[in-house]
Amino acid sequence: MIKKELSLIIDEAIKKVIRNCGVKDIKAPQYNVEVPPGNIGADYATNAAMVLAPVLKKSPFLIAEEITAEVSGNKEFFKAVEFVKPGFINFHINENVFYNEVARILKEGEDYGRQDMGKKKKVMIEFVSANPTGPFHVGHGRGAALGDSLANIMKALNYNVVKEYYVNDMGNQIDLLADSLLCVYDNKDVPPGGYEGNYLKEICKNNKDFIRDNRSNREVIRKFVVDEMLERYATKDLVDFGLFFDNWFYESSLYKENKAGKNEADVALDKLRANKHVYEMDGALWFRSTGFADDKDRVVIRKDGTRTYLASDIAYHHNKFERGFETVINIWGADHHGYIDRVKGAISGLGYDSEKLKILLYQLVNLTREGKPVVMSKRKADYVTLRQVIDEVGSDACRFFYLMRNANTPLDFDLELAKKQSQENPVYYVQYAYARICSIFREAKKMGIKFTLKGNLNLLKEPEELTIIKKLSSYPDLLLYCCKTLEPHHLTGYMQDLVGVFHSYYMKHRVLGDDRELTESRLMLASALQTVVRNSLKMLGISTPEEM
RNA sequence: GCGCCCAUAGUUCAGUUGGAUAGAACGUCAGGUUGCGGACCUGAAGGUCGUCAGUUCGAAUCUGACUGGGCGUGCCA
């Protein structure tokens, strides 16, 4: 928020400087406002003068001087403004501005950080969407953590977010799953490439009569096994991960016929056909994706008349845009990256703006145990599942670890580290700080100190206190940044920093002291800190234990 | 072959879109507690940002060429 106010002040100054130059029709270029390196000692800095220099055809140093002159009259906001060598302008903000921000945190509480960036725009985030042919693996967990925290962040920024899971309940894989189920039921070997996990045995055991009575009806068996798998794994595992989808979208619903005998898949294909983006060749129907930067055209209807996966995806994305989403975010494992061009191509071919589809790819997750890789063999069905990881390390640690790294770099997930209850483990480091703050309030209560919001924040003069306050103040900016980049992982880094300065502070200064007035002020600071830690962890879907 | 991603301290990684002396954590070494939770804190050592060229006031960041790694390249899903 402080950064936003500062930006407005700089904007005003720039306008005046441009006007004074007598140049007309000049748009102020994008400039940065950021926290400069520690050795500079300023609260914020801007490169505005330097990016303005080529536009105004003037030396950056002179422009910096003019901006500084415009701005430095504002004694309410600035303690000092200075400009230095290449043309940076450094701002020293008045302490009162920071104290006001603390007051704001205390006032807004769990709403602190909320901003109207989205203006209620409709956004869909589709993620996980794993085939219901087996348990989730650790990669799905990464997608789940990413999508859910991104949704939380965007909701806080006033986007109207829908979280959706696309259920592939059709096609070869599902046929194979149904066949495998019947083989397991008959105690026969599953067909080549089939599924032999224990989960099928369990489903058979619990549903003997149903399978016996319906085994000849393939349609029924297919639907049955998909529902069983979703029930057994998807819903249950995701609930334990604290993740709830707003909508489960079934692929098969794209093929339900309306009164005119058409289904959504046909409608979408007709649209492509009308736009001349499909053609027939070798008895198959092709989508001319080479017209949209794909390197090869793609089959949508095979020569045997069946549809490819792409046919459904075209219809599904058509459906998404028909539902009026202004932004559609898909979260995919990086192994699907080859698929991006054709889906984007299809969206363009259907007449929509493919820029509105944002695809967030995440790289592989490697499980390790004390540095050594955990062997995962999918075929034998003894690989480590998301369920096993949640059971072993807990949902909180699991989510934090997933969100510690940028999505586009492979993630090493160390199970032993995630379980450790020590400073090596960043989750505990953060949650411990929260518990510690809670403990201060418990102690205060015991001592009969009543917490009030009426304390005098001006008493928070220690450098560590100001460091904490500045860090707290940057939380709203951080949310904007995470949203803009679609990168929630910045939050985990922020939390470690924030909590780190608190631990130092705690070591050096007492919150509950003899000075009653000072104690009140420090309790207010502790409360603000508690709020921001809680809000941040909430964005990540991580709990805030008051005791550990 | 072509396409996408990656390469930063011993290790795992940040790095706010081109800014000032490149930051953390872990590990290593040296310290710290009559007190609100030591599951914590303080300090030190540790770097040719894979290599080479280019773009400009200024590059870890942008461009090109290499080197090394991951993934993809189905009328599979």
Query: Does residue A375 register a pLDDT over 70?
Result: no
Q: Which residues 428-447 of A interface with strand B at a CB distance below 7 A?
A: 428-429, 432, 435-436, 438-440, 442-443
Q: Which residues pair with A83 in a beta bridge?
A: A89
The answer to which of A55-59, A399-403, A530-534 has the lowest mean pLDDT is A55-59
Q: What ipTM was predicted for this assembly?
A: 0.92
A39 touches strand B (CB under 7 A): yes
A35 touches strand B (CB under 7 A): yes
Query: Does residue A424 register a pLDDT over 90?
Result: no
Q: How confident is the model over A6-36, as pLDDT tens digits?
A: 999 999 999 888 888 776 667 777 888 988 9
Nearest partner of A346 among A330, A335, A362, judged by Cα: A330
pLDDT given for residue A260 in this prediction: 83
Of residues A352 and A134, which shows the higher confidence score? A352
Q: Cβ(A242)–Cβ(A159) under 8 Å? A: no
Query: Does residue A81 register a pLDDT over 70?
Result: yes
Position A364, amino acid: L
pTM for this entry? 0.94
Q: How confident is the model over A140-160, as pLDDT tens digits?
A: 999 999 999 999 999 999 999
Q: Find the Å distance, CA of residue A405 to C1' of nucleotide B8.
A: 15
| pLDDT-derived band at A531, boundaries 50, 70, 90 | very high
Q: How far apart are the first and last CA of chain A?
A: 33
pLDDT given for residue A401 in this prediction: 93
Query: Does residue A377 register a pLDDT over 60?
Result: no
Q: Find which nucleotide's C1' atom is closest to A366's CA.
A: B70
In A275-415, which ranges are E strands? Answer: 278-281, 284-287, 298-301, 327-333, 357-362, 365-369, 372-373, 411-414
Query: Does residue A208 register a pLDDT over 60?
Result: yes
pLDDT given for residue A295 in this prediction: 85
Q: Find which nucleotide's C1' atom is closest to A313's CA.
A: B77
User: Domain-by-domain residue ranges, chain A?
Assistant: 2-93, 172-226, 422-539
A32 touches strand B (CB under 7 A): yes
CATH of A2-93, one of 3.40.50.1970, 3.40.190.10, 3.30.1360.70, 3.40.50.11890: 3.30.1360.70
Query: Does residue A202 register a pLDDT over 80?
Result: yes
pLDDT given for residue A379 in this prediction: 45
pLDDT given for residue A415 in this prediction: 87
Going edge to edge, which strands form the sheet with A365-369? A372-373, A365-369, A411-414
**Residue reference for tokens 């920024």:** A157
Distance of CA A162 to CAs A315, A438, A484, Å? 19, 34, 18
Name the protein residue, with chain letter, whose CA is nearest the C1' of B35. Answer: A510
Q: How far apart are CA A20 and CA A25, in angstroms?
A: 13
pLDDT given for residue A383 in this prediction: 60
CATH of A422-539, one of 1.10.730.10, 1.10.10.10, 3.40.50.300, 3.10.20.30: 1.10.730.10
Helix A463-473 to helix A516-540 angle (10° resolution) is 30
- Environment class of residue A28 by beta-carbon count within 10 Å: exposed (0-12), middle (13-18) or buried (19+)? middle
Nearest partner of A252 among A167, A165, A323, judged by Cα: A167
